Amino acid sequence: MPFQPELPGFSSPARPEPALSNALEAYPDVSATTICRHAKRIGRAGEHLVDSILTRYGDHILAAPEDEPFDRLVRRGDRHVTIQVKTSARAVDGFYKFSMKRGYAGSPKGIRSYGANDYDIAALVALPENVVLFSADRRESHRISLDQIQALRERPRASYLRALEEIGLIGPDEPEAAPPSPGSPAF
């Protein structure tokens, strides 16, 4: 690349160093303030974990635009499943807790409940544990106990298949929905 010499009386502004934040470098061992300050990034990490789990088992996933009431659209045959991802950054009193509300304080519409048709399945991410619990239950809040973590880790897709069955997308007799045999690599 050719070099452009400085013109007399003109100088280039100093280039600022890139502002890379190391605030999350010690995650999950960071303050609640740091978690709040970086909530969007932590939420994105949760969405990527959901993408990873679904992609490795062959699902086709699309990220939804920001204004949709769901985060992911998954194509399953000729049907689509909408997934709302909620991420918890730390356990409190032995549980990762999830509030099924949309919006945020200070937004024009504020915090509000989801409508009955806003999403099909919730993907509840316990981010420090790298696990996801999928649920078709339409409760206003969910939680994952620390006792559930190992089972979610061993069978990351099992709750997804259960949720698909609950919304009628797969039947209990379909091979995909059957529980795996002991030692099966299917999950």
∠163-93-49 over CA atoms, to 5°?
40
Tens-digit pLDDT profile for residues 98-152: 999 987 777 777 888 999 999 999 999 999 999 999 999 999 999 999 999 999 9
State the pLDDT confidence band at 70, using cuts at 50, 70 and 90: very high
State the pLDDT confidence band at 30, using cuts at 50, 70 and 90: confident
CA–CA dist 125, 49 (Å, integer):
8
pLDDT winner (highest mean) among 12-26, 91-105, 126-140, 158-172:
126-140
For the segment 76-85, the average pLDDT, to the nearest whole number, is: 93
Query: What domains appear along the chain, each with residue ranges and CATH number?
Result: 32-102+111-166 (3.40.1350.10)
Closest by alpha carbon to 87, among 144, 168, 161, 11?
144
Residue 45: Cβ within 10 Å count: 17
Tens-digit pLDDT profile for residues 46-63: 999 999 999 999 999 999
From residue 4, give the alpha-carbon distance in Å to each of 1, 8, 14, 17, 63.
Answer: 9, 12, 16, 22, 43
What is the reported pLDDT for 22? 83
